[in-house]
Structure 1
Amino acid sequence: MVVLNIAKLNEFDEAVRSTNLVVVHFYADWADQCGPMNDVLEELAKQTELKSVKFAKCVAEDLPEVSLKYQISAVPTFLLLREGALLDRVNGANAAELTQKINQQISKGSYEKSSVQPAKDDLKSRLSKLIKAAPIMLFMKGNAKEPRCGFSRTIVELLKNYNVDYQTFDILSDEEVRQSLKEFSNWPTYPQLYVNGELIGGLDIVKEMHENGELKNLLPEKGQNLDDRLKALTNKAPCMIFMKGNPDVPRCGFSRKLMEIMKETQLPFETFDILMDEEVRQGLKTFSNWPTYPQVYVKGELIGGLDIINELKANGELLDTLKGTL
């Protein structure tokens, strides 16, 4: 059997809906251990006794929504799924453990959702981060270019009346978010509009505010006080890191390596996921005259990226720099 190469979210969703066991390898080209584990996957796919198993692989950084949902914090990682339910996982390059767990699932013949599903506290944290991912967040069916229901289409058309940037989240792409956000915000329907992390309401509320003139004053205009916002963000914590992903789920190799170094220091720090806010992602490059990510700030001043942090570590100056004592 051929190992399926997954590159898009809809391809992942379609693959894991199978009633057969599905094994997905989350890998990265820059990780040395992933190449040999891809070879292991190819060999397993050739075994006659595993002909009922569907094998697939995907670049973890190309599917950030999936990596976040299943807490893929390092590569290689293998997920064992059936009908979208997570049965088990293997963290790291352990071919023997992977083979053993595959055989265990085959022998069971039926399944139960594993206790390795994200905990409720983790889910609440994820929802909180999502609604604060941009100053204006719209949870809808589809996206701004391709709304997939009449209500979502109407609210997108309504927002065109305002000079605002906003981000959308397609709740059809993530059933966990779709169901949990209703309870989290105590709002049973979609679309849902949030401004600065606070729920405004659905289409009926937004239409009413539009008609009586309240919505204009509520929505931050495009580009309004961006420098002030960036200054506030870089000063949000004594040590502030702008990265791809978050400490639990870095979404690029440079961010992952930086998190490993930061954890070694045992110093407190906060992070901002630049993948969740295009305005910050692009604006901060100009604001700090630094074109790449991650970026590390101490007391609002840019220290640099991973290369600078590595250099400071090698020189023995990292701890004092991060503490702001140098």
Structure 2
Amino acid sequence: MANLVEATTQQQFEDFLAKAGKCLTVVHFQAAWAPQCGQMNEVMAELAKEHAHTTFVKLEAEAVPEVSEKYEISSVPTFLFFKSGEKVDHLDGAHAPELTKKVQRLAVSEGPGGAAEGSGADLNQRLKKLINAAPCMLFMKGSPQEPRCGFSRQIVALLKEHNIQFSSFDILSDEEVRQGLKTYSNWPTYPQLYVNGELVGGLDIVKELAESGELENTCPKAVTLEHRLKTIINQSPVMLFMKGNKEAAKCGFSRQILELLNGTGVDYDTFDILQDEEVRQGLKTYSNWPTYPQLYVKGELVGGLDIVKELKESGELVSVLKGES
């Protein structure tokens, strides 16, 4: 694809930055010997399909040392983000959800020639998705681990004290969301707490709910990781935990198992473990199975790609998926 390229010299790298202008350029400093770099290239390829105005550059870190030294690249994979030739952000390591999040945030405002891609309607759709990303959603300054203002620190402490499960969004990381949500919710300050897509309010209201004993009834209580894993595993009679989803596998093993399952005609659902680090790590322990993909039928682990291949070769795959054996 035209916006997924490789730079093999410093001049090529600089040309790609110049050509992109004000639009976002994402540079992956990689190494052929590192398997995680190959996995992240697959993630980049999917992002390149979604973000046509963003340039994604692969660069062999050791082959172009002058660029690696200039930007102090000490490990692979490392991602640098550029606009107008200037570095605006970076990401160390193979973190697909974080890469996706940064690209979505940085690519929102620029189209060809610097024209804005988004519109008010697009922003409202984005805000709706964020608000409904979890049953209990907190828009705050910073993160629950590192709140960046006193009000955010207090509301996080209240939610934790009352054992309430919540997800959060750092409004300092996205000015469009920060300003847009004030108008969308008609609430001028932060933090803002939403439950099931509806605004509850800010710190004062959460304090009142806590003092009146209503906070636990207003917000969903925390569930254990084990309970959460069981719930996801049993979402569908046939459940596949993989890298990516049915439409876009993000590793070769996941792609192969999708082909095998699609060939059976049996319905199944998928869960993208790249989007949830808690599930990704927790399921390995829960199932005592260290790798992905993992296939479950009626809540029971069948196994990974090798076992599904064996079942296919023996003619048992369809009956296992139907829970008949």
Same fold, judged at TM 0.5 (above): yes
1:112 paired to 2:115: yes
Following the alignment from structure 1 to structure 2, what is the Cα–Cα distance between the partners of residues 155 and 274? Answer: 29
| Offset at residue 240 of structure 1 (A) | 1.9
Equivalent position of 2:308 in the other structure: 309
Report the CA distance shift for 1:38/1:130 in structure 2 as closer, same or farther (over 3 A). Answer: same
Counterpart AA for 1:157: A
Question: How many equivalent residue pairs?
Answer: 270
1:74-113 alignment runs, 5 A limit: 85-87=110-112, 110-113=113-116
Classify the secondary structure of the residue corresponding to 2:38.
Answer: coil
Following the alignment from structure 1 to structure 2, what is the Cα–Cα distance between the partners of residues 128 and 246? Answer: 23
Following the alignment from structure 1 to structure 2, what is the Cα–Cα distance between the partners of residues 65 and 240? Answer: 25
Equivalent position of 1:131 in the other structure: 134
Of 25, 31, 38 in structure 2, the residue corresponding to residue 23 of structure 1 is 25
Following the alignment from structure 1 to structure 2, what is the Cα–Cα distance between the partners of residues 58 and 2? Answer: 23
1:32-111 alignment runs, 5 A limit: 38=59, 61-67=94-100, 85-87=110-112, 110-111=113-114
C-alpha contact 1:152 1:191 (8 A) present in aligned 2: yes
Following the alignment from structure 1 to structure 2, what is the Cα–Cα distance between the partners of residues 248 and 256? Answer: 10
List gaps (5 residues or longer) in structure 2.
Answer: 1-9, 31-35, 43-56, 68-83
Following the alignment from structure 1 to structure 2, what is the Cα–Cα distance between the partners of residues 241 and 190? Answer: 38
List gaps (5 residues or longer) in structure 1.
Answer: 5-14, 46-51, 72-78, 88-109
1:155-194 alignment runs, 5 A limit: 155-164=155-164, 166-175=166-175, 178=178, 189-194=189-194
1:142 paired to 2:146: no
C-alpha contact 2:132 2:196 (8 A) present in aligned 1: no
Report the CA distance shift for 1:192/1:306 in structure 2 as closer, same or farther (over 3 A). Answer: farther
* Farther off after superposition, 208-217 or 278-287: 278-287
Report the CA distance shift for 1:248/1:53 in structure 2 as closer, same or farther (over 3 A). Answer: farther
Report the CA distance shift for 1:204/1:306 in structure 2 as closer, same or farther (over 3 A). Answer: farther
| Offset at residue 282 of structure 1 (A) | 5.1
Following the alignment from structure 1 to structure 2, what is the Cα–Cα distance between the partners of residues 70 and 39? Answer: 21
C-alpha contact 1:240 1:298 (8 A) present in aligned 2: yes
The alignment's C-alpha RMSD in Å is 5.0
Counterpart AA for 1:149: C
The percentage of counterpart residues that share the same residue type is 49
Equivalent position of 1:100 in the other structure: none
CA deviations 1:264-287 (Å, max 9, x no partner) are: 666543333456656645554444
C-alpha contact 1:241 1:295 (8 A) present in aligned 2: yes
Report the CA distance shift for 1:86/1:316 in structure 2 as closer, same or farther (over 3 A). Answer: farther
C-alpha contact 2:142 2:171 (8 A) present in aligned 1: yes
C-alpha contact 1:30 1:253 (8 A) present in aligned 2: no
Counterpart AA for 1:64: P
Equivalent position of 2:79 in the other structure: none
TM-score (norm 2): 0.58
Report the CA distance shift for 1:315/1:2 in structure 2 as closer, same or farther (over 3 A). Answer: farther
TM-score (norm 1): 0.58
Equivalent position of 2:297 in the other structure: 298
Counterpart AA for 2:114: Y
Report the CA distance shift for 1:228/1:171 in structure 2 as closer, same or farther (over 3 A). Answer: same
